[in-house]
């Protein structure tokens, strides 16, 4: 039997320019199809503080245009131990047709180390949403303990409140109360194993969800010796009224990659991502990436990539929503 196959071709362009106007200062200009941004990083107070400012424009597939800006200042301090203070403001303006929304926030966070192996993080965030006509204060607190004393193991706990951004035109925001805890340790060389747990309570959720619990066990190896690996299994429970979209009681994830130095000027890479997520029904997919980085004449660097996505996923009728993406980047 003959089958009709529809092939859709999309093009995406990526560009980035970095300018260093002075020592310790950088300005990055970036464009990714419908996203444009400019980022400044530098110093204040005679180099005692770091400042980062970001402004950008984003066009979503839903037709929403978003103008965003954020400024953050970070600097150390000494008082009954070591502190790292961060504070700043952010704002966004979203618009689509006759709909519009203004959102703003200011935040303050302190990471305090009263002892060598203990870190306490306290934070406050004040948000104003013009669409929902609401002003909210969101506290957050976390604690981390390096129980190895050598930076190879840690235990942590966290509590925080969050507000989800509502869809444009909606006036109700979902409030989220999070409690999280976990432990991780280096087991062999640079291989880390750990266990994470999170509990969430929701109020005002449009989809009816009320609470969520999840436990994740994982093994991770950062990129070293030309390879990286991360494997995890998550057991979760999403509760609420009725059937809730996005409920995935079991999730298996695997990401791996390897880089091979073909010559002094050429490096080949291979990466794969596997997902098995229990939904209705199970969703199983594999993504694969092949890449090549070649050093041309100084200072030019050529990167070529080929991505094959959704190799195992199937839609109704047995047709795979397969995606092939080619990319090339010239850096200088």
247-287 residue pLDDT tens: 899 999 999 999 999 999 999 999 999 999 998 788 888 99
| Tokens 């245009």 sit on residue | 65
Alpha helices, DSSP H only, in the chain? Answer: none
Instruction: Indicate the CATH number of 59-331 among 2.40.50.420, 2.70.98.20, 2.40.170.20, 2.60.40.1180.
Output: 2.40.170.20
Nearest Cα to Cα of residue 110 among 138, 80, 132, 87: 87
pLDDT in tens, 46-102: 778 999 999 999 988 778 899 999 999 999 999 999 999 999 999 999 998 888 899
Q: Is the pLDDT of residue 3 over 70?
A: no
For the entire predicted model, the pTM comes to: 0.86
Closest by Cα among 238, 318, 325 to 287: 325
Closest-CA residue to 125 (of 105, 104, 103, 102): 105
pLDDT tens per residue across span 159-212: 999 999 888 888 888 999 999 999 999 998 889 999 999 999 999 898 899 999
For residues 294 and 81, give the distance between their C-alpha atoms in angstroms, rounded to a whole number.
47
- pLDDT of the residue at 45: 76
Phi then psi for 308, rounded to 5 degrees?
-115, 120
User: Mean pLDDT across the chain, nearest whole number?
Assistant: 89
User: End-to-end distance of the chain based on CA atoms, in angstroms?
Assistant: 51
* Residue pair 118/143 in contact by the 8 Å Cβ criterion: yes
The residues, any chain, with a CB within 8 Å of residue 280's CB and separated by 6 or more, are none
- Residue 322 DSSP code: -
């Amino acid at each position: 039997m003959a089958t009709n196959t529809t092939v859709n071709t999309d093009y995406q362009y990526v560009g980035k320019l970095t300018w260093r106007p002075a020592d310790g200062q950088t300005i990055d200009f970036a464009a990714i199809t419908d996203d444009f941004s400019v980022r400044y990083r530098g110093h204040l107070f005679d180099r005692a503080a770091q400042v980062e400012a970001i402004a950008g424009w984003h066009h979503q597939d839903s037709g929403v245009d978003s103008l965003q800006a954020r400024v953050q200042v970070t600097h150390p301090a000494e008082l009954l131990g070591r502190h790292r203070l961060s504070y700043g403001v952010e704002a966004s303006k979203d618009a689509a047709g006759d709909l519009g929304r203004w959102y703003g926030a200011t935040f303050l966070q302190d990471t305090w180390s009263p002892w060598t192996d203990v870190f306490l993080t306290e934070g406050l965030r004040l948000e104003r949403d013009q669409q929902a006509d609401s002003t909210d204060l969101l506290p957050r607190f976390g604690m981390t303990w390096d129980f190895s004393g050598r930076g190879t193991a840690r235990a942590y706990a966290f509590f925080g409140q969050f507000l989800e951004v509502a869809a444009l035109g909606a006036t109700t925001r979902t409030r989220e109360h999070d409690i999280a805890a976990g432990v991780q340790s280096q087991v062999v060389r640079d291989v880390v194993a750990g266990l994470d747990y999170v509990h969430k309570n929701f109020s005002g959720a449009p989809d009816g969800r009320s609470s969520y619990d999840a436990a994740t066990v994982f093994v991770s190896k950062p990129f070293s010796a030309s390879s990286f690996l991360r494997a995890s299994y998550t057991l979760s429970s999403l509760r609420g009224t009725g059937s809730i979209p996005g409920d995935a009681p079991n999730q298996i994830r695997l990401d791996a990659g390897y880089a091979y130095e073909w010559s002094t000027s050429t490096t080949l890479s291979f990466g794969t991502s596997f997902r098995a997520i229990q939904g209705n029904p199970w969703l199983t997919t594999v993504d694969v990436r092949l890449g090549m980085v070649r050093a041309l004449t100084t200072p030019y660097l050529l990167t070529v990539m080929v991505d094959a996505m959704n190799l195992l996923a199937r839609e109704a009728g047995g047709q795979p929503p397969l995606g092939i993406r080619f990319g090339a980047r010239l850096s200088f």
